[in-house]
């Protein structure tokens, strides 16, 4: 937010608070003029009673909260090793969740991107074209080549 916007918001809040205070003061003045002394005393007594009731409720809530907190601390102290185990299991679960999500996104990315064929350089293409094609298996040339290799191996073994 800019400074002007903040100043405007502060002015609006101040104006609303002043109007609310003025309305309350006017209402109080009208009540003082038009209500009898007995009615005012009854209202004041009811207001005091409400404040006392609120205070008692707040004290009971604080007491119950304190007892609950002490009970939880006692439970944690008595069974600290189970709480430690639960923490370790929770950390392991968080790690497994992280690994699973990264694996799933990686798999989805691999599936969405088409595989690129490796580029063959011009030098490699020329070399492949310069080599004579290998004879097909079962052809006479292939059989002759195999026979020659076999004879060469036999001669090596005899020596």
Confidence (pTM): 0.37
Quickly list DSSP for 52-72. Answer: HHHHHHHHHHHHHHHHHHHHH
Sorted by sequence, the CB contacts under 8 Å of residue 32 that are 6+ apart come out as 40
Identify the segments of the chain with pLDDT beneath 70: 1, 134-135
Query: What are 76-111's pLDDT values in tens digits?
Result: 899 999 999 999 999 999 999 999 999 999 998 888
């Amino acid at each position: 937010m800019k400074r002007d916007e903040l100043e405007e918001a502060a002015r609006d809040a101040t104006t609303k608070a002043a109007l609310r205070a003025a309305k309350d003061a006017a209402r109080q003045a009208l009540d003082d003029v038009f209500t009898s002394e007995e009615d005012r005393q009854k209202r004041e007594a009811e207001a005091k009673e409400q404040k006392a009731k609120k205070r008692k409720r707040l004290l009971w809530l604080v007491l119950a909260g304190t007892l609950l907190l002490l009970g939880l601390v006692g439970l944690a102290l008595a069974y600290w090793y189970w709480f430690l185990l639960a923490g370790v299991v929770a950390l392991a679960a968080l790690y497994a969740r992280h690994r699973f999500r990264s694996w799933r996104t990686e798999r989805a990315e691999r599936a969405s991107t088409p595989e690129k064929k490796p580029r063959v350089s011009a030098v490699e293409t020329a070399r492949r074209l310069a080599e004579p094609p290998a004879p097909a298996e079962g052809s006479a040339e292939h059989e002759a080549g195999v026979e020659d290799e076999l004879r060469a191996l036999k001669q090596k073994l005899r020596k």
